[in-house]
Amino acid sequence: MTPATSTKTVMLLRLARKGPVRARDMDDAGIPRAYLKRLRDRGLLEQVDRGLYRLADAPMTEMGSLAEVSKRVPHAVICLLSALQVHGMTTEAPNAVWVLIDRHARLPRVASPRLEVVRASGAAKTHGVETRIIDSVTVVLTTPAKTVADCFRFRRHVGLDVALAALKDYLRQRKGSIDTLVEAARADRIYAFMRPYLEALA
């Protein structure tokens, strides 16, 4: 191994320690993409999806799949059951990563982990988002209030029981104000439906 090769290898491993690596990240770092295959063949990296790699011995966190999806589908917003998990508003681990994308966006092609996709546009897509760092990756997700509103908006996907449990947890854990919740529900155009439940529990 030449000094130049060794340096590129060290650079790539350092990059991978920060979280999942996409092939395009290599271009930004000035590392030839061929190094991904080399390090995979040597057992230092593992390919988790098309164009996405991580350290073979990287510890998998409970929410590592969210970081992987955010790397693969940067325009997607983590939402619904996955966002509830991040906010500590559910004890159940979803069996898929839930993402919100624009109504006209192309459906993401991700082999693993499994995705559940919902669509929205306008305020229902842009209102109530925040960022978190998960496994050194910037993850965009819905706020607690928007997550509750989304659970009511997409109740046919997640079930009304999940929406009601999310509303109860939001109020019990004081995840935000009533006003913030109402704003999110209005952005989702679901306030009229949600109002009786909110008045009964608040």
CATH class as words, domain 3-55:
mainly alpha
For the chain, residues with pLDDT lower than 70 are: 1-5, 49, 58-62
pLDDT of residue 167: 97
pLDDT of residue 45: 84
C-beta of residue 17 within 8 angstroms of C-beta of residue 29: no
Using CA atoms, how far residue 42 sits from 23, 47, 55, in Å, is: 17, 12, 11
40-54 residue pLDDT tens: 888 888 787 677 787
pLDDT of residue 130: 97
C-beta of residue 175 within 8 angstroms of C-beta of residue 144: yes
Q: Give the CB-side neighbour count of residue 126, counting CA atoms within 13 A.
A: 3
Per-domain boundaries in the chain: 3-55, 64-201
pTM: 0.74
pLDDT of residue 127: 97
